[in-house]
Amino acid sequence: MRYLVLLSSPASSEVGEFDQPIGLVHRAVERAVAESGIAHTVLYPSWLAT
């Protein structure tokens, strides 16, 4: 794999959400991807939920 695109959640960084279970899970995945060394982009498509 040369490049990874991660579909995450705004809950990983929004005040009042990032310390809740869904935010914690998404942040953990984002951290694992970042630490993997794989080139990547994280998308936070909040508009998909509207």
Mean pLDDT of 16-35: 90
What are the tens digits of pLDDT across the range 27-50? 999 999 999 999 999 998 876 665
Residue type, 45: P
Count structural domains, the chain.
1
Against a cut of 0.95, is the pTM above it? Answer: no
Residue 50 has a pLDDT of: 58
Least reliable range by pLDDT among 4-8, 10-14, 25-29, 34-38: 10-14
Residue 45 structural domain: 3-49
First to last CA, the chain: 32
Residue 5 has a pLDDT of: 96
- Provide long-range contacts, Cβ within 8 A and 24+ apart, for 37-40: 38/1, 38/3, 38/4, 39/2, 39/3, 39/4, 40/3, 40/4, 40/5, 40/6
